[in-house]
Structure 1
Amino acid sequence: MTDDVFGGTVEHRLRRAAGRVRATARDAQARDWVAERPDRVGFARLAQADYEIGQAADRFGAGLPWNWLRTTAGMMVGAAVSLTILLTAGDASSLPVLLVAIGAFPVVTQAVTSLVTARRRDGRSIDDPYFRGDLTRRLEACAAAARADRSENHRAAADDIGRALVWLAAARRED
């Protein structure tokens, strides 16, 4: 199923594009690690393109930043688990109970943050011959919409998208 290049808001289109680039960068990095397709810098350039696309999407974003919300939710759950351990333990002041409660906080916080952050895999591979052409077309459509916007902040997103396209072109030269 292919989605429309012009479907949805610019922010959502950029976030979908960033997800695709992120999945492809992870695929390329995993392949490099197992030496199935050695590529020392291609995945790093794709990751930089993902960062630039994310910056552009953030310029269109409204409300609380999603990263802040994920981190806060993870910390709240971690604190709740630690407090539960302390309140339900028979002797809360004993050293083993305190160590478990203190150790549970960062572990639970990271686990919750990772679970909330987990995204489905797009199924794209670095070797997909249509990936870069499709992504470039999507990003150029977003850049055109950003340049046509009245908001100066939204127009600045076009520069971020331009830098992302440069990183994608640099990653292509590595193939």
Structure 2
Amino acid sequence: MDVVLECPLTEQILASFATVIGKDLPGYRNHIYRVLSFYSALNPQDRPLSCAVQIAAAFHDLGIWTHGTLDYLAPSIQLARAFLAERGELQLAEQVSALIEQHHKLRPYRQAHAASVEAFRQADTIDVSLGLLNFGLPRPFIVEVQARYPDQGFHWMLARASARQLLRTPLRPLPMFRW
């Protein structure tokens, strides 16, 4: 298992949204690289990382900043699809959309693109849970990834956004979760 060290395509996307993400950029960037590292360990057949996964990783939470909400899955998918259309790569839209839409699914994903979507879902869960849920990844690897890509306030930003969401919509506090 290797820590993912660079993804030029992901970096290109992040650079184009740097102003919108603002001070949260280092934390979001490190979250993405932690997710990609865990994904790569969970799904070693997808090496080097596919364009679909790199694109989905960059866009998967982006709606938090572009639309100012925790109900960000649809906006994140729209941004990713616009990016794919601009690049003439709409053939990746179904997979990228599934990767983004299902990354907070609470139960295993078993539909189209299941291998990549399920590994991406698990990878994001590992990171959001700070490694408490590990899906079989060795603790030393998780610690190595966390050390290479420190939190930089990402989880604190999520906690603040979740508190705001709870106050705004108490009956729907975490709208990004899917069954």
| TM-score, normalized by the shorter chain, greater than 0.5 | no
Higher relative contact order (CA 8 A, sep 6+): 1
Kindly name which structure, 1 or 2, has the bigger radius of gyration based on alpha carbons: 1
Q: TM-score range by the shorter chain?
A: 0.3 to 0.5
Of Structure 1 and Structure 2, which has the larger fraction of its residues in helix?
1
TM-score, normalised to structure 1, is 0.33
TM-score, normalised to structure 2, is 0.33
